[in-house]
Chain A
Amino acid sequence: MPDRRETLLWLVRAIALSAAPGMALGPLQAEARGLGVAAAAAGAPATIRGADAEGYGRDPDLRHPRVTWPLTLDPEQKTAVTVLADVLLPAEEGSPAASTLGVPDFLDEWISAPYPQQRADREVILAGLATIRSQSPLADLDAASAEAIVAHLSAQAAAGREPQAHFFSRLRNICLVGYYTSMSGVAQLGYVGYQPSATFKGPPPEVLALLGV
């Protein structure tokens, strides 16, 4: 388990990130700073677990895949990620919501991994969640407030505002990957490969007609 000092460091870093130039949620900065540090000082649940975790190594058992690192998100963060993911990728007829396909779990797996890309994403995602938490407790986030947050982030991203643009981009990308590499997501995109066959006949005539070749 990480100690309080480590937790504090992460929170301070998260807040420093959210205080980058161009920050549009400006009025909330001071509040975030106060809330974050106060929460850590009061012994709030650890934000970062498994900071010393090891990866799966250079010779993992490929036929029995296993995630080897502890997860990061506490229940409140998980709640927030779940409602945000379901706004990004909502349920439609014949197409489940992100949370139904395990996207929040995948995001937790991703940002908890001890590799450079994932560690960078962890900072971005946790900083974004810390900023949201500075407005309201994460456990209280419902679909309507998540919708408002995502709409706000999208608009800020379109206006080129950082760090919202980067947070929106990484959150969206991780959710897209989690969703569309799941077996349901793969099927929704129309990927129908992985079928051993004695011959390869190439694309069907109706596809060739659509392609004009």
Chain B
Amino acid sequence: MAAEPFDVIVVGSGAAGGTAAYALTRAGMRVCLLEAGRFYDPERETPMFQRTAAAPLRDAGTPDKPFGFYDATVDGGWVLPEEPFATAPGTEFRWFRARMLGGRTNHWGRVALRYADHDFKAYSRDGYGADWPFTYAEFASWYDQAERLVGVFGSNPGLPDQPDSPPGCLQPPPVPRSFERLIMAGGRKLGRPVVASHTAVITRPINGRQACFYATPCLRGCSIRANFQSPTVLLPPARETGRLTTITHAQGYEVELGRDGKARGVHYVDRLTHRHHFVAGRAVMLGASAMESVRMLFNSKNSRYPQGIGADGGLLGCGVMDSTGSNVWGQFPQMENLPPFNDDGAWLPHVYIPWWAWPEQRAGKLPFTRGYHLELYGGRLEPSADTFDFFDSVSPFTYGRKLKAEARRYYGSFVRLSQRGEMISREHNRVQIDPVLKDAWGIPSLRFDVRWSEQELRQTAHAQQSMAEVIEASGGKLVTPLPHNPAQAILPPGRIIHEVGGARAGVDREKSVTDAFGRVWGVPNLYVIDGAVFASSAHKNPTLTIVAFALRASDHLKRELHHA
């Protein structure tokens, strides 16, 4: 490997690293892509038509496969015995990882919303956290490119919180399902928008990919390449250039600097052989996932940066965010005993409820300053191990013929509303290197210290109330009463798997870790291109913004290398 003259070493093959590999190889550069997990081929491995009945435990989630046996995640989960991490006393953090080619793009909710200008300027709006180093107008063309590359269905309803996409970016959304129509009717009564979701599934063929055929669960992956996964969308065209070298089982752990202070390559350990290797390049891009990229920077210690590259300003690891998340379940009598019909659709949400109260919030009428949106799940999905979770509530103590009648009656009548909200970036919510803990390869592990503030709890109380209102206005009943305390409703930090921050991008090197292109201050050829650079996280799932940022950073690097 050392003999290969690589232009760029990219660490991580998911949304960030996969995008960089795609953009850089197509721009003529030789890329070495390091992936900690194994090779993964969705076209060959995805269990598209395997049925729940054939899966161990009927596809119920387990510690080995938290989202079910058939879930796309390989060698991942919440607890990886070989890769422990610590949490500060009195805190908890969930950290979902997937050690496989394409990382977590193989399993993700695929909601792909653009940040609005007020999302990039959240600090200017309310004084919390930090602004991004660019405006929406400056970033919008990268969203255009990202949407065309990823393949996103959606609509342009002209809402203040959801910037419209130019023509040719979005694909037509599928028509709403039965339960989604009920919620739309309820939303109309309340004067709340219920509009097409922006979801990374294609409804028309693009770039040689087949359109969605409206069957089989997306979280298993998609062998026909209708949804967005790095190994089906980003890596094949990168490979076709002949300029991509992928090394799997390669856990990057340290960036080495040359005497000139520039990055000269990456040290990695082969997870199978435990052997250590070094691979050199003209530039390095970290897309290992927000927390892993921060960990690599901390673990890249040298005489110039004794606390790790990027740590000299004291901000590395600071400002870790997840999305807030809470659920409310509704049961809809209108949906009971319906005749059979196929309501699978594109499996992922067709519609969602955007953040509607931000004018009110802007006027200071709400006790929290950042927004949330609501996602809808449920209805007549294939019966699963959790289909009967609420039977002790709706039909307790029944058995025999009565129970079978109740099963037919209630199937398909449950809908889950899920809050996804913005967590404020705060410097005390941080990761550091744990003083003693190491992974199975001897690499120092992270220690998380992340807590919700009153802001997130008040937002969650509002969201819980909103979800109950929407369910009731739509003709449904709450399955369980709302908890009195939002702390009981909000899921623990990390649980939504939107963890970002820790190497914030900014214009002022005193207040950020990287510049506006993700270059670590002081190391002009070392880019951080994943969620670590997020200055704020909006309430919008981070993947589309990661892809857009990685496209922009790759374009910048291309010009830098050409210039050199």
**CB contact under 8 A between A193 and B215, given known A118-B57, A203-B343:** yes
CB proximity of B411 to chain A, nearest CB, Å: 4
Which residues of chain B from 398 to 434 have a CB within 8 Å of any chain A CB? 398-401, 403-404, 407-408, 411-412
Task: From B56, B73, B185, B396, name the one whose CB has the most chain A CB atoms within 10 angstroms.
Answer: B56
Question: Which chain A positions have C-beta within 8 A of B404?
Answer: 89-90, 92, 95
Contact at A213–B57, with CB atoms within 8 Å?
no
Residues in B37-67 with C-beta less than 8 Å from chain A? 38, 45-47, 49-60, 62-65
Q: Does A36 contact B (CB under 8 A)?
A: no
- Given known contacts A58-B74, A177-B385, A206-B339, A92 and B401 CB-to-CB distance under 8 angstroms: yes
Residue B382 at the chain A interface, CB threshold 8 Å: yes
- B215 near A58 (CB under 8 angstroms)? no
User: With a CB–CB cut-off of 8 A, which chain B residues contact A67?
Assistant: 56
Question: A66 interface residue, CB < 8 Å from B?
Answer: yes
Whether A196 contacts B213 in the complex (CB less than 8 A), given A63-B47, A89-B404, A211-B334, comes out as yes
The 5 nearest A-B residue pairs measured at CB: A190-B340, A193-B344, A196-B213, A202-B175, A62-B47
**Least distance between A137 CB and chain B CB atoms (Å):** 23
**CB within 8 Å for A56 and B175 given contacts A190-B338, A193-B382:** no
What is the interface of chain B, defined by CB distance below 8 A to chain A?
Answer: 38, 45-47, 49-60, 62-65, 69-70, 73-77, 174-178, 181-182, 184-185, 211, 213-216, 220, 334-335, 338-346, 380-385, 387-389, 391-392, 396-401, 403-404, 407-408, 411-412, 475
State the CA gap A56–B178 with chains docked (Å): 36
- Measured in the bound complex, the distance between the Cα atoms of B411 and A189 in whole Å is 7
Q: Which of A170-210 contact B (CB under 8 A)?
A: 172-173, 176-183, 185-186, 188-204, 206-208, 210
The minimal Cβ–Cβ distance linking B147 to chain A, given in whole angstroms, is 21
A48 contacts the other chain (Cβ, under 8 Å)? Answer: no
Q: Which of A87, A186, A199, A210 contacts B383 (CB 8 A)?
A: A186
A158 at the interface (CB under 8 A from B): yes
Please tell me if the beta carbons of A211 and B64 are within 8 angstroms of each other in the complex: no
What's the Cα separation between A168 and B397 when bound, in Å? 8
* Cα separation A197 to B74 with both chains bound (whole Å): 29
Chain A residues numbered 129-172 whose CB sits less than 8 Å from any CB in chain B: 150, 154-155, 157-158, 168-169, 172
**Contacting pair B345 A190 (CB below 8 A):** no
Q: Is A21 an interface residue (CB 8 A)?
A: no
Chain A contacts with B in 35-70, Cβ cutoff 8 A: 55-60, 62-63, 65-68
Please name all residues of chain B whose beta carbon is closer than 8 Å to the beta carbon of A178 when the two chains form the complex: 58
The 19 sampled A-B contact pairs (Cβ below 8 Å) are: A58-B73, A88-B403, A90-B404, A92-B404, A150-B399, A168-B397, A172-B391, A172-B399, A173-B388, A176-B403, A178-B58, A181-B385, A190-B408, A191-B383, A192-B341, A193-B342, A194-B382, A196-B213, A198-B211
What is the CA–CA distance of A88 and B58 in the complex, to the nearest angstrom? 20
Task: Give the distance to chain B from A187, nearest Cβ to Cβ, in Å.
Answer: 9
Contact B182 A213 (CB under 8 A): yes
| Cα distance A90–B399 in the bound complex, in angstroms | 9
B interface SS class: loop
**Taking the complex as formed, is A10 at the interface, i.e. its CB lies under 8 A from any CB of chain B?**
no
Interface residues of A, count at CB 8 A = 69
CB pair A196–B184 under 8 Å, yes or no, is no
Closest to A151 in B: B399
* Complex interface: chain A residues within 8 A of B391 (CB): 172-173, 176
Contacts of A90 in B (CB 8 A): 400-401, 404
Which single residue of chain A is at the shortest CB-CB distance from B411? A189
B64 near A180 (CB under 8 angstroms)?
no
B400–A88 contact, CB under 8 A? yes
* Chain A residues within 8 Å of B335, by CB: 211
Residue in contact with A59 in the complex, picked from B38, B55, B182, B184, CB distance below 8 Å:
B38
Q: Check A177 against B400 for contact (C-beta < 8 Å).
A: no
With A and B bound together, what is the CA distance between A198 and B385 in angstroms? Answer: 29
Q: Which of A88, A183, A188 contacts B51 (CB 8 A)?
A: A183
Contact status B396-A207, CB under 8 Å: no
Assess whether B396 is in contact with A157, with CB atoms less than 8 Å apart.
yes
Query: Among B70, B345, B382, which residue has its beta carbon within 8 angstroms of that of A186?
Result: B382
CB-CB under 8 A from B46, the residues of chain A are: 62
Which of A109, A199, A211 contacts B57, CB < 8 Å? A109
A27 within 8 A of B: no
Q: Which residues of A contact B47 (CB under 8 A)?
A: 62-63, 65
* Bound: A150/B340 CA distance, A: 31
Would B70 and A62 count as touching, CB distance under 8 A?
A: yes
Q: Which of A113, A180, A199, A200 contacts B407 (CB 8 A)?
A: A180
Closest B residue to A212 by beta carbon equals B334
Given contacts A180-B387, A202-B177, contact A62 B342 (CB under 8 A): no
List the A residue with the shortest CB-CB distance to B100: A59
Complex interface: chain B residues within 8 A of A66 (CB) = 56
Complex Cα distance, B346 from A95, in Å, reads 31
* Complex Cα–Cα for A191 and B214 (A): 14
Closest to A169 in B: B392
B382 in contact with A191 (CB, 8 Å):
yes
Whether the pair B215, A197 counts as a contact (CB closer than 8 A) is: yes
